[in-house]
Amino acid sequence: MKKILLLAALTIFLLGGTTAQAALLSISDDPGSYGDIPNGATNELLQGIYGTSTRYGYFGSTVYLTASANLYFTFLGFEAGYDNDFILRTSQLFSTEIYAPNNKVTGSSVVSGPYFFEVGASPLIIPFSFNVNNVLGVRNGFNPDDASASANINFFVSFDSNSPADKNGDSLVLFLDDAGAGPDDNHDDMAIRIGARAVPEPATMLLLGVGLIGLAVFGRKRFI
């Protein structure tokens, strides 16, 4: 009986370091609005990404990281005549220019990362931006609310979840509209997925290590 109780205690101690964490990514839609793409036009990428021709999510949003984590960025494709680039801080991660003279790539899955970001007392605005024809088009934190089909360069956000109305999760897709063909708002000029993975804290790793050692000692004593 004592051995069973000891094993249970050690197991609980071990699992204590692996408890589920809250969603690492969140968005604010203030100002902004809930809506859908492609707003009566055609989006060349939605079918490959979500298996649908319409997707709901948020215009005018800002994307935050809520806890320290590794971020992965995946280039999912584009349909655009412009040279569009995805920038993290000051580094270009992806560009449509390398595909010239083609103006459409679908089903891409080029991954860049991990990039570690440390979050302090408040959520971190992830420092990404989109350049359009080598000029800053839109950056996170200054994203126009374009639900009214205006000609703004902007991005649309939808989380990879069962409910596209979600504002929290660990994976989302950014859909760029570079306004190159006017106010069509189809948002297929570049699509980037952001995925976040938690980084175990030193205390958590120590807790796991102690738990594993305890289980090993228990197993050794049991079979002596």
Secondary structure E strands in the chain: 25-28, 33-37, 55-59, 62-65, 69-79, 84-88, 91-95, 104-117, 124-125, 128-132, 135-139, 154-159, 168-169, 171-177, 190-198
pLDDT at 104: 96
Note whether residue 2 is domain-resident: no
Q: Per the domain annotation, does 131 fall within a domain?
A: yes
Residue 211 lies in a domain: no
Q: Please check whether residue 189 lies inside any domain of the structure.
A: yes
Asked whether residue 221 is domain-assigned, the answer is: no
Residue 164 lies in a domain: yes
Write down the residue that tokens 């979500």 correspond to.
Answer: 50
β partners of residue 154: 177
Domain count, the chain: 1
> How far is it, in rounded angstroms, from Cα 71 to Cα 89?
13
In a domain, 71, yes or no: yes
Q: What is the pLDDT of residue 209?
A: 42
pLDDT of residue 206: 33
pLDDT at residue 58, rounded to an integer = 94
Specify the pLDDT at position 15. Answer: 43
| Domain of 66, in residue numbers | 25-198
Predicted local distance difference test score (pLDDT) of residue 184: 65
**pLDDT value at position 201?**
63
Residuewise pLDDT in 10s, the chain (224 residues): 444 433 444 443 344 444 456 899 999 977 789 999 998 889 999 999 999 999 999 999 999 999 999 999 999 999 999 999 999 999 999 999 999 889 999 999 999 999 999 999 999 999 999 999 999 999 999 999 987 767 789 999 999 987 889 999 999 999 999 987 665 679 999 999 999 999 986 544 333 443 444 444 445 455 45
> How many Cβ atoms are within 10 Å of 9's Cβ, its own excluded?
13
- Asked whether residue 59 is assigned to any structural domain, the reply reads yes
